[in-house]
Amino acid sequence: MSKQFEIIPAIDLIDGKCVRLSQGNYDAKTIYNENPVEVAKAFEDNGIKRLHVVDLDGAKAGKIINAKVLEQIASSTNLEIDFGGGVKTEADIKLVLNAGAKYVTIGSMAVKQQEVVAQWLNKYGFDKFFLGIDVKGEFVATNGWLETSTKTIYDVLDFYNGIGFNYFFCTDISKDGMLQGISEDLYSKVISKYKDLILVASGGVSSVKDIDAAKRIGCSGAIVGKAIYENRITNEELKSFL
């Protein structure tokens, strides 16, 4: 994890296939490829180093479902993978790391069970985790975006800032999968408040201009999904950030 700007393509998994949702709606999914390993290899061939893999089945079920796909991607590429969706227990953390992920992504638990997650961070090391905060406005959403919390993004960041953890991605659900641009105002506000934060923008990237915007306002990277799959961002444009 570093402040150096990173492009992080996303592979979202349902039934072992590479899909994308719109605004977190499981009924509004598009299947882009039946074989996520092929997709991951193509990213690597184009110079990509990082990959964001989300087990959407796991996020919905509350337990990891697609660990085998993670294993296949990790064994077939040299990509640095973060994997999340359904991580609820220490056994899940071990499963994800043993399957080849560099980072364990934790979302809902990072909001609902902060003391437990703090214990995991201390036990396994801060460098093994990438925490995700999903928001509607500034309020946090959990459980695969099916619930909205009374906590704000600042409540969550205050806690982790207090223990020295600073590696996060933030997804504005209203933007995700909609190709309408990133939440520049929110990210700017968050970055100005937390000086040591390593924040990756997620949701809404529609063109290379949005990646430029994320970099300009001080984000440390951008997670890109649908814009790549629908050819709104070319491989050549991605390479300019590598």
Q: What per-residue confidence (pLDDT) applies to 143?
A: 62
* 3-state secondary structure (DSSP) of residue 50: strand
Given a cut of 70, whether residue 144 has pLDDT beyond it is no
Does the annotation mark 155 as catalytic?
no
164-201, pLDDT tens digit by residue?
999 999 988 876 656 678 999 999 999 999 989 999 99
* Structural contact between residues 18 and 51, judged by C-beta atoms closer than 8 angstroms: no
Tokens found for residue 85? 């969706």
Averaged pLDDT of the chain:
91
> How far apart are alpha carbons 3 and 239 in whole angstroms?
18
Does residue 186 contact residue 197 with C-beta atoms inside 8 Å? no
Specify the CATH class of 6-239 in words. Answer: alpha beta
Distance CA 114, CA 101 (A): 22
Q: What per-residue confidence (pLDDT) applies to 33?
A: 84
Nearest Cα to Cα of residue 241 among 226, 231, 220, 227:
220
**Nearest C-alpha neighbor of 4 from the set 53, 39, 49:** 49
Strand partners, 132: 169
pLDDT reported for residue 55: 96
Tokens of 149: 């919390």
Residue of 159, 222, 148, 158 whose CA lies nearest to 190: 158
Beta partners for residue 52, in sequence order: 10, 82
If one compares 97 and 149, the residue with the highest pLDDT of the two is 97
Catalytic residue among 12, 55, 92, 210: 12
Catalytic entry in 57, 82, 92, 134: 134
Query: Residue 93 and residue 86: Cα distance in Å, rounded?
Result: 10
72/177 Cα distance (integer angstroms): 26
Cα separation of 167 and 6, whole Å? 13
Separation between Cα atoms, residue 1 and residue 52, nearest integer Å: 13
Residue 146 has pLDDT above 70, yes or no: no
- Given a cut of 80, is residue 147 above it in pLDDT? no
134 is catalytic: yes
Residues of the chain with pLDDT > 70, as a percent, come to: 93
When computed from its CA atoms, the radius of gyration of the chain, rounded to whole angstroms, is 16
pLDDT at 26 (0 to 100): 75
Q: Model-level pTM greater than 0.75?
A: yes
Q: Rounded to an integer, what is the distance from CA 53 to the centroid of its chain?
A: 7
For residue 145, name the pLDDT band (cuts at 50, 70, 90): low
| Domain range list for the chain | 6-239
What confidence tier does 3 reach under pLDDT thresholds 50, 70, 90?
A: low
